[in-house]
Amino acid sequence: MNPDFSQLDLNGRLRHLITLDGLDAALMRELLNRAQGYLCLPGQLPPRGGDLCGWTVANLFAEPSTRTRASFELAALRLGADALNLDVMLSSRVKGESILDTIYTLQAMQVDVFVIRDAEPGIIEFVARHVEDHVSVISGGEAHLSHPTQGLLDALTIQQSKGGFRDLIVTIVGDIRHSRVARSAHCALRALGIAELRLVAPEEMMPDRGEFAGAVRYRSFDEAIERADVVMMLRIQRERIAETATTDPRNYHEQYGLTAARLARARPEAIVMHPGPMNRGVEISSEVADGPQSVIRRQVSNGVAIRMAVLAQLAEARRRRTP
């Protein structure tokens, strides 16, 4: 994010949510606590609220999504807002309309919040600089750079399973170089104070040395998983890798796939995370993905709760600015 742009308002409250980089740990904790209140037991009716009554939330996703898009829509509806899903690939953008003209058009229809996923770095902040004062912009995933609500839902899942962050060893495995999930997890977990972050990946999937400050890099998965409390698996982001680059899935699975045998090297109570979508048999075996240590489906449930918390927080901040 450019240093002259802030995603906070003058009261220090959320105005937009574009990145977790530099976001105060206290604000993150507030969002995690608020999200906890939106959760329910399986089979119960999900909590609802009127925090966004009369608002309109628009999802503008220029890259594929199941979890993020659906959960933002459900979060908006459960808080009483209208939800609009614009299929960007079927919108007038393909006829040459610019992103800003698209935003101004929807703003004229009284959209209050834009949730944007885009492959172009910087575009979400660019939109945030141009919306009207009362309008907020949330990143639903920006290129390989940032996926803030994913970082928060991952932190919430770890907090629920481990009771906090202190003393935890977290191992992130796979295509970290192209992963916005890993970057946002790093921002969140560093701010919330885990003991150690380990990265393990083949050379071509490791991030540049200047990134992931404080993390310890491994080449061997067997070493990186020793005594880990949390194992976060990532898929290979083929959409961000040159078509000529090939990875043999069987070879990859052998070296960087999470199997039950490999998981046994972690702490016995370690949890297994994956942001989805999964490629079973490549980065993770079905035995582990569906096994007792997997919290992958809980991550999905937490995703709705975190997105409700972010939307409710934006609404509260707006009410304070314009009572």
Q: Alpha-carbon Rg of the chain, whole angstroms?
A: 19
CB of 212 vs ligand CP, minimal distance in Å: 19
Where are the extended beta strands (E) located within 63-220?
82-87, 113-118, 136-142, 169-173, 196-200, 216-218
Q: Which residues sit at the interface with ligand CP, rule CB under 6 A?
A: 65-68, 141, 150, 275-277
Residue nearer to ligand CP on the CB measure, 72 or 212? 72
Residue nearer to ligand CP on the CB measure, 67 or 93? 67
Residue nearer to ligand CP on the CB measure, 51 or 75? 75
CB of 301 vs ligand CP, minimal distance in Å: 13
Residue nearer to ligand CP on the CB measure, 13 or 67? 67
Cβ–Cβ under 8 Å, residues 38 and 308: yes
Residue nearer to ligand CP on the CB measure, 141 or 257? 141
Cβ–Cβ under 8 Å, residues 152 and 210: no
The closest alpha carbon to 78, from 314, 312, 297, belongs to 312
The closest alpha carbon to 155, from 232, 221, 217, 228, belongs to 232
CB of 275 vs ligand CP, minimal distance in Å: 4
CB of 4 vs ligand CP, minimal distance in Å: 29
Residue nearer to ligand CP on the CB measure, 174 or 275? 275
CB of 67 vs ligand CP, minimal distance in Å: 4
Question: Three-state SS for 94?
Answer: helix
Report the b/e string of 231-251 with b at 16+ CB within 10 A: bbbbbbbeeebeeeeebeeee
CB of 273 vs ligand CP, minimal distance in Å: 11
